[in-house]
Structures are given as structure tokens and as C-alpha cells.
Chain A
Amino acid sequence: AQSVTQLDSQVPVFEEAPVELRCNYSSSVSVYLFWYVQYPNQGLQLLLKYLSGSTLVKGINGFEAEFNKSQTSFHLRKPSVHISDTAEYFCAVSPKAAGNKLTFGGGTRVLVKP
């Protein structure tokens, strides 16, 4: 079984400041890793994914994440946030052998202040 821990439930940040959202996972098998974003009153959409290869992954809207296998982490970063980045962000994993089943973390609410 897999589990995902997002260490911060809420992150307030000022506009144009950097932000980092932390994600740690636990799994006995190799996994794929994902970050999804949920804007208010909407469904989730994929920000980025790590499947293999380079551990630094770039996604949409200027976000990037780094896979650290030894620390079982997949932290999300953005160097300069905008008001429009206010949303909830979810880290998720799926086992490579059964990739259709996602396990989500509890989510991190990002509130960007002017």
C-alpha cells in the first residue's frame, strides 16, 4: 500500500514571493508521482508528473518539482507566485505495476496575498 503526506495544510504567501509545498510518500514498490491543482469550486487538473528520468520535472504555470528517491519526497516549487495561484494542491502516487490507482495526500491550501 502507498501513503502520501503533505506536511503543510495551509501556506499563506505574498504575491511574487517563492513557494514550496512539501510532499513525502511511503511505498514498498516503485511509484509514479503527480501534483494536481484544484481551483475553487472546480475539479482537479494535472500540474506535472514524474515517471522516470530527470528528477527535476517542469509543469504548467511555472511550477516544478524534484523527485528525491532517498528521502521519498516530491516537493513542488514556484519561484514567483501570482494571485491566480490561489488554490489547493494535491500530491499523489500510483504504483508502477498498477498505475491506474492514485493515492492522494491531504492537500495544501495556498493563499496568495497581494
Chain B
Amino acid sequence: NAGVTQTPKFQVLKTGQSMTLQCAQDMNHNSMYWYRQDPGMGLRLIYYSASEGTTDKGEVPNGYNVSRLNKREFSLRLESAAPSQTSVYFCASSDFIYEQFFGPGTRLTVL
């Protein structure tokens, strides 16, 4: 039981490049989330998916798109990366409102 897995762990992009961050969970959870973590700002919600087939914007969705591929997988895409998107990205999943389970994170640097 791996919990929530994320790939890649590290990535360096040049401004304007695109990439997709992958997330998968094996806990049969309905809800999945993408957050970004910046120093002093805690975690901010980018997008979430309450159930398979649905996605909604969070607090900071600009510059990102998501796909809920199936119940297990939830990907985050940067179409044209900008230096302001340099951050640590976390995926999480939950089945109840009481606890979210987090992946290990992806550290992204945009030059």
C-alpha cells in the first residue's frame, strides 16, 4: 500500500516550457487535490476533484490545468511555465472530510 505517489520528485524547466505532474493514490479515495507550498504561505489549493469526472478551481488556479484520468490518478499540467510557478507541489487524497493524505511532493524550479 503506497498511499499517494507523485512523479517526478524534482524538475527544472525553462520559462515557457510545459510539463505534467503525475499523482496516483491506491486508497480508493474519491477526492483528490493539488496544492503548492511556498515559504511563509503554507499550502494553497490549486485545483481539486471531489469525485471522478469532476474538477474545480481552488485558490490559485491561474496557469494550471488538471485532469482526473480515473479514480486513482489526478494530473496537474503547466502549459507555459513561469518563474512564479517555482514551488513545491503536493498532491493529496481523501475519502472523508476529516483527513487528507499527502504525497511526498514535487520540487519544481522554473528558470
Interface positions of A (Cβ within 8 A of B)? 4, 6, 9, 32, 34, 41-46, 49, 51, 90, 92, 94, 99-107
- 9 pairs of A and B residues whose beta carbons are closest in the complex: A99-B97, A43-B102, A104-B42, A44-B102, A104-B43, A106-B42, A46-B99, A106-B40, A43-B104
Q: Is the CB of B31 within 8 A of A100?
A: yes
A49-B99, A90-B42 known, 17 other contacts, Cβ within 8 Å: A6-B42, A9-B40, A41-B104, A43-B4, A43-B90, A43-B102, A43-B104, A44-B43, A46-B100, A49-B98, A51-B98, A92-B42, A100-B48, A103-B45, A104-B42, A105-B42, A107-B42
Interface positions of B (Cβ within 8 A of A)? 4, 31, 33, 40-45, 48, 50, 58-59, 90, 92, 94, 97-100, 102-105
Minimum CB–CB distance from B38 to chain A (whole Å) comes to 9
Interface of B is mostly: loop
Contact partners of A107 in chain B: CB under 8 A = 40, 42
Minimum CB–CB distance from A52 to chain B (whole Å) comes to 11
Given known pairs A43-B102, A100-B50, the reply for A4 and B58 (CB within 8 Å) is no
Q: Is the CB of A4 within 8 A of B98?
A: no
